[in-house]
Structure 1
Amino acid sequence: METDGHGKSYGEWKHEKEGTPTLRGMVKTDVEMAMTAADSFAGFVAELQKKGYAVKYGSKAAHMTVRHKEAQKNIRLDKISPHFSEDSLRRYFRELQTLPPEMQQEYKQQTAPEPPRRKPKEQPMPVRRRARCRGRWNRSCRKITGFMACYYRYCALLRKAYKGKVGKRCYYLLRDDFLKYNRYRRQCDLLWERQITTLDELLTYKENLQAEYNTLTAQRKALYRRKSKTTPADYSEQIQTLTARIRELRREITTCADIEMDCGMVQDKVQRAKQPEKAELRVAENTHYNHVCAYGSQH
């Protein structure tokens, strides 16, 4: 099996399989968009800086690297794709500038790196089974509202934007939150599991967690005092059980605090994301209508 010599970590493979955003995928998309928008190497670097990247290149840097403002480490571009090395990029823009303006766009499309092709998995033949359902068919289901619906909508928008299934304006609105996807996913899961739909319910749930956390912490402190006076094995199991529960409570309290901090921003971005989608849908409908009218007038 032939490869390009560049492997990927298990975490990246898992995120790609699940369709969740990754840092390398975000960088790859932004580099390709910067190459399309720029006409020179300096313009390419400027486009990356506009997107929030710090770029290192030139004689003082062994390899060309970028780091997003929300990330904690630099990424080598040639590790993402051999086409993204500094020499390849400079050669690409030198050849681009030798062409007339009307041929430059065609050259960009011809030299764009091809996405990896994957063989689709063979789906097994469905097994038909008969089942008998007993009960009421018109059973009413609870409608999702409040925070829960807003977070579900936002996580779905992040996944669509990461896969390039939204317009450019919506993509630029959401792209800075790709690296925080797991944070919003944890908040969404907590709201769904606890059926929290309003801010008052969230604050009440957080107060109950904090009260339980304080109680268990006091119990564990008392067990530590008794453990020092008696044999250690008597209280070790109880301390481990309390520590596990305290760790869970601490994580949920932190998630509740994050929701309290992020809920306003999430609601605002969901509302702002609807406007570009409606505008682009309206433009698409008008374009289709004009094509239909032009075709009808010709025939």
Structure 2
Amino acid sequence: MRRLSDELCRKYRLSVIEDPKKGKHYSEWLAEKQKLPTRRSLIIDDVDRAIDNSMTFTQFIRNLKSIGYEVKMNVKYMAIRPPGSEKFFRLHNLTKDELYSEENIKLRILNNDIGFQDTIQKVKPKTYHYQGNMKKAKKITGFRALYVRYMFEMGILPKNAPNKKRVHFLLREDLRYMDKITQETTLLCKKKIETIDDLDREESAVNDKLNSLVKERRCVYNKIRRCRNPDTKEKLQRDVATLSEEIKGLRKEVKLYEDIKVRSLSMKNKLTKIKEERKEREQYEHRRRNSRSGRKNVIAGD
């Protein structure tokens, strides 16, 4: 399409973009406009932390790997892959000014002492907190337990938790969806939904009510078309406005049920992946401690 468009533009002496550059995805542009964290801004935040805590470029690479990043070196453009991501991100493409090129990163590491990092604009994610006493809460299961566990892993529950661990990259991404997650959690708790059967039953009931109101509104519309009395017609129009508002609310509720089905699967997969990563890390640390202990015993024996 671009080739045909360029040929037509040249034919009719119109301007042609000779060196087109790839723009941002709409969702990323919208998130930045609304000051919400994006995958790119989360990567930049992690890279900044790794730079600020490094005195050498080798230490910078080691810092990235310590928080789960895979680093691709010995290529034309150095690239990194955050934990849970399927693709690599070239460092020099993180920003338009190539502030994160390999050369500029090395310069920043050398200039750590003069506060070079203060010139960087960072997109800070919103902070969310849960209100209430978790110790007094009743035991919950199913969907509600899943959502609460997920929010706990995101660092939102419990509030002001001691020894707070760094939130996994996969979960920090969902900070941009916290408003939706909060709405879904509220609905699950309000309706006391725990199983998929509970969810299907509530969704079916709301759909039945929604279809009934849509039919009722259609009947009122028909009455308005046949009505000749201005006062009666005005009253019917108010009825339509009331029905429309209720229908709008029910449609939003149905959308929440659909989103819960999709998001709950994503939550389970992410929590499972994080659990497996932690288990592998613990096994690695255990083997390393045993290896160190073995070397000390050999030295002591000598």
Q: TM-score, normalised by structure 1?
A: 0.55
1:156 pairs with 2:152: yes
Counterparts of 1:272 and 1:263, CA distance in 2: 14
Query: Which residue, 91, 101, 104 being the options, matches 1:92?
Result: 104
Counterparts of 1:87 and 1:23, CA distance in 2: 17
1:43 pairs with 2:80: no
Kept after mapping to 2: 8 A contact 1:155/1:185:
no
Counterparts of 1:43 and 1:154, CA distance in 2: 36
Counterparts of 2:100 and 2:45, CA distance in 1: 17
Counterparts of 2:80 and 2:245, CA distance in 1: 48
- Between 1:259-268 and 1:146-155, the stretch displaced more is 259-268
Counterparts of 1:152 and 1:268, CA distance in 2: 15
After TM superposition, give the deviation of residue 223 of structure 1 in Å.
Answer: 0.8
**Where in structure 2 are the equivalents of 1:111-122 lying within 5 Å?**
113-114=117-118
Counterparts of 2:279 and 2:99, CA distance in 1: 42
* SS, match of residue 235 in structure 1: helix
**Where in structure 2 are the equivalents of 1:198-213 lying within 5 Å?**
198-213=195-210
Alpha-carbon spacing, 1:88–1:271, altered in 2? closer, same or farther (3 Å): closer
Partner of 1:242: 243
Partner of 1:143: 139
Letter of the aligned partner of 2:44 in structure 1? K
* SS, match of residue 219 in structure 1: helix
Counterparts of 1:227 and 1:259, CA distance in 2: 38
Counterparts of 2:166 and 2:265, CA distance in 1: 25
Kept after mapping to 2: 8 A contact 1:148/1:192:
yes
Letter of the aligned partner of 1:274 in structure 2? K
Alpha-carbon spacing, 1:29–1:164, altered in 2? closer, same or farther (3 Å): farther
After TM superposition, give the deviation of residue 190 of structure 1 in Å.
Answer: 1.6
**Cα deviations across residues 78-125 of structure 1 (Å, max 9, x unaligned)?**
6xxxxxx226736525x56xxxxxxx9x649668725899xxxxxxxx
Alpha-carbon spacing, 1:150–1:112, altered in 2? closer, same or farther (3 Å): farther
Counterparts of 2:165 and 2:73, CA distance in 1: 23
After TM superposition, give the deviation of residue 260 of structure 1 in Å.
Answer: 2.1
Counterparts of 2:285 and 2:190, CA distance in 1: 39
Letter of the aligned partner of 1:201 in structure 2? D
Alpha-carbon spacing, 1:277–1:87, altered in 2? closer, same or farther (3 Å): closer
Counterparts of 2:88 and 2:289, CA distance in 1: 38
Counterparts of 1:193 and 1:40, CA distance in 2: 54
Counterparts of 1:277 and 1:24, CA distance in 2: 24
* SS, match of residue 101 in structure 2: helix
Partner of 2:211: 214
Letter of the aligned partner of 1:147 in structure 2? F
Letter of the aligned partner of 2:277 in structure 1? P
Alpha-carbon spacing, 1:244–1:159, altered in 2? closer, same or farther (3 Å): farther
Q: TM-score, normalised by structure 2?
A: 0.54
**Cα deviations across residues 122-160 of structure 1 (Å, max 9, x unaligned)?**
xxxxxxxxxxxxxxxxxx853111110101212332457
**Where in structure 2 are the equivalents of 1:255-294 lying within 5 Å?**
255-277=256-278, 280=281
1:26 pairs with 2:42: yes
Alpha-carbon spacing, 1:274–1:205, altered in 2? closer, same or farther (3 Å): same
Give the unaligned 5+ runs of structure 1.
1-8, 16-20, 58-63, 67-76, 79-84, 97-103, 118-139, 295-299
Aligned residues: 219
After TM superposition, give the deviation of residue 250 of structure 1 in Å.
Answer: 0.5
Counterparts of 1:180 and 1:86, CA distance in 2: 29
Alpha-carbon spacing, 1:11–1:164, altered in 2? closer, same or farther (3 Å): farther
Partner of 2:226: 229
* SS, match of residue 224 in structure 2: helix
Kept after mapping to 2: 8 A contact 1:146/1:198:
yes
Alpha-carbon spacing, 1:238–1:52, altered in 2? closer, same or farther (3 Å): farther
